[in-house]
Structure 1
Amino acid sequence: MSAPAEARTNSARLAARPVAAAVDALPAGRTALDHGAIAYRPAGIAAPMPLLVVMHGAGGSAANMLQPLEEAADRHKVLLLSLQSSGRTWDLIERVGRSPDRVPRADFGPDVRRTDAVLRTLFQRVPVDPRRIVIGGFSDGATYALSLGMANAGLFRGVIALSPGFFVFPDRTDTRQRLFVAHGRKDDVLLFAQAEGIAGLLRQAGADVRFRPFDGGHQISRAIVDEGLAFALGG
């Protein structure tokens, strides 16, 4: 399912934006937020701070997605926000799975509204650098992050897609947005060729994309996360 969908992404729009006068009221460590989301603030991070929003894979959770990324957040001094899908996976992927032809379409649902609500809350509680906000995910979460992130290029400087299965094109591709796509050559869950196809389509659209193959399976690699963060944040 590496082909793009029709451009119909109005329902993907996020209205939340960082608040310049936000009071710094988020403690170090993990903080539970609404809709099952969890924020992680590294010790010693200064405001306004960069933000990485992350999305778990199918059957996963905000907590288990956060765990392998906390050390990266500590190293890069990045605030983490791990989101929780409303169903077993993200609404876009669930709707593709239920469609008769299984063709990806920009059919977003309640997870967009949940994401917007959590971001609004976070932006009220901590000063975030509006120039350094990145969204990322793994597996189904990578599919969703790439699709939602590209539809909201005004909010997200970059996207980190770790082992995505497909994506849907936004109405317009913002060539200033940095897109990082990584996939294991031995992945037996989502085929490596799918990610190659995604990277090719993004390049054809004029996107600033870095495709990073690696010798591994369906997994999150520390080195890949470090490279993705540095690239997406503009380092």
Structure 2
Amino acid sequence: MNQPPVPYADGRLHARPDVLRLMDHQRQPPLEAGTHQLSFGDGRKALLHVPPDANAEGRRLHLLLLLHGAGGRHGGGDHIALGHAVRHGALLLVPDAQDSSWDFLRGGFGADLAFIDRTLLWTMQRYEVDEQAMAIAGFSDGASYALSVGLMNGHLFSDILAFSPGFMAPLRREGLPRIFVSHGKDDRVLPVARGAAIAQRLAQEGYEVAYQEFDGAHIVSPAIARAALHRLEE
């Protein structure tokens, strides 16, 4: 007997700002400026930072989707990026994985990608997101997931920021998002050679890639976070 297809198994995200803009009846009241913990009916959680003046008429916001490392849950390198995103005036969306890490690392795209799509839609229903300025970022396992999802959804994300990735495994490719990869020279969790090899391969495949190594271990350094986010402004 044929099994029904697993939702999101193809790695495709469906939320789009331009589609929501044509469906005013689906608009929802926005949250005030600040950092908010979002809790959904099924127990899933995400964090959303809303910059000042996010609801100013005619303003379209940059959006940064940030994916934590294994066991992260908004911790570690996420807080560094959060601090810089606050100063850069972007929406920052940080969903939690269902388990300790992301679904594809446990067998295939599915529940976590569906939740990411859900949180993107929730955000787009409340804010004017600039469809030309959406980025996906991650640290460690989150970086591997961001690379995989971002390459498959390159018409949605203009940029991919991968801090200390271990691998990438997109099921297909679309678009040509810009890619930033960084890796610590003293990383003993995921050796620096992995990040270097990923950056080299993507550059050979025709992507615009910026690669930075730094003196440090398995972390996101403040200087690297600044460099990555500065790239988004260019």
TM category, shorter: 0.7 to 0.9
Q: Which residue of 1 aligns with 2:30?
A: 25
Correspondence list, 1:145-156, <5 A = 145-156=146-157
Q: Distance in 2 between matches of 1:141 and 1:165?
A: 9
Q: Deviations over 1:200-232 (max 9, x none)?
A: 11112111111111111111111211211222x
Opposite residue 119 of structure 1, the aligned amino acid is L
Q: Deviations over 1:50-109 (max 9, x none)?
A: 0000000001103666432222012211110001001110011123xxxxxxxxxxx312
Q: Distance in 1 between matches of 2:183 and 2:212?
A: 7
From the superposition, tell whether residues 138 and 132 of structure 1 become closer, same or farther in structure 2 (CA, over 3 Å): same
Answer 1 or 2: higher relative contact order, Cα 8 Å, separation at least 6: 1
From the superposition, tell whether residues 29 and 168 of structure 1 become closer, same or farther in structure 2 (CA, over 3 Å): same
Q: Which moved more, 1:164-173 or 1:11-20?
A: 164-173
Q: Distance in 1 between matches of 2:34 and 2:78?
A: 11
User: Are 1:75 and 2:87 counterparts?
Assistant: yes
- CA RMSD of the aligned region, Å? 1.9
From the superposition, tell whether residues 81 and 160 of structure 1 become closer, same or farther in structure 2 (CA, over 3 Å): same
Q: State the TM-score, normalized to the length of structure 1.
A: 0.84
* Structure 2 SS opposite 1:125: coil
User: How far did 1:183 drift?
Assistant: 0.3
Opposite residue 50 of structure 2, the aligned amino acid is R
From the superposition, tell whether residues 25 and 134 of structure 1 become closer, same or farther in structure 2 (CA, over 3 Å): same
Judge conservation of contact 2:140–2:165 (CA < 8 Å) in 1: yes
In structure 2, runs of 5+ residues without a counterpart are: 1-7
Q: State the TM-score, normalized to the length of structure 2.
A: 0.85
Number of aligned residue pairs: give it: 214
Larger Rg: 2
